[in-house]
Amino acid sequence: MSISLFYFVAFLSIFFALLVIFAKNPVHSVLYLIVTFFTFTIHYILLNAQFLAIVNFIVYMGAIMVLFLFVLMLLNLNESQGTSKSAIVKMIGVIAGMCLVITLVGSLKALHVSDPLVLQTQDLGLVKNLGKVLFSKFLLPFEVSSLLLLSAMVGAVLLAKKDIKQA
């Protein structure tokens, strides 16, 4: 156990994230995305954010990815596979992304070298501590997010429903 574990997992994250956007088949993209999210879960565990690790595991890898897979299976995208952007557009997109990386890294270089990340209190990311903060300081945003989820549910049902008059 050493800090090389972080670099190994970080390498895996970047590798699978690249596979997500370069895979030809959208189903493969979803599967690679699940692996990417799993590496993110490992990052959260390394940061001792256990609550976030569990939530990331259940919500992202469980719920959201199943939703993506369901929609992909429902749509049956066989005939629309042949189309892709022209090579020059792809090249320009990659160059633009690289420019973004270079800008961010360049601005990072301007910072002085940061201290190593040290966990000051062990129970920072545990459910007990986070629950206390969530239900005292962030009670109103928590309730508002329930309204957001309700409206999203109603909106999704309304959008995906077939028009009754035409059907």
Partner 1 sequence: MENVTQALQGVPLNHYILLSAIIFAIGVIGVLIRRNAIVIFMSIELMLNAVNLLLTAFSVHHNDASGQIFVFFIMALAAAEVAVGLAIIVMIFRNTNSTDVNILNKLKW
Q: Which of residues 4-33 bind partner 1 (CB under 8 A)?
A: 5-7, 10, 13-14, 17-18, 20-21, 26, 29-30, 33
Q: In whole angstroms, give the CA distance from residue 66 to residue 60.
A: 9
Nearest distance from C-beta of residue 90 to partner 1, angstroms: 5
Q: How many CB atoms sit inside 10 A of residue 129's CB?
A: 14
Using CB under 8 A as the binding rule, the residues of this chain from 65 to 84 that contact partner 1 are 67-68, 71-72, 74-75, 77, 80, 83-84
Per-residue tokens: 72: 């992909």
Instruction: Kindly tell me which residue out of 35, 38, 52, 164 binds partner 1, with binding defined by CB under 8 A.
Output: 52
Residues with Cβ within 8 Å of residue 32, at least 6 apart in sequence: 16, 19, 20, 23
- Region 110-139 residues binding partner 1, contact defined as CB under 8 A: 111, 113-122, 124-125, 129-130, 133-134, 137-138
User: What amino acid occupies position 25?
Assistant: N
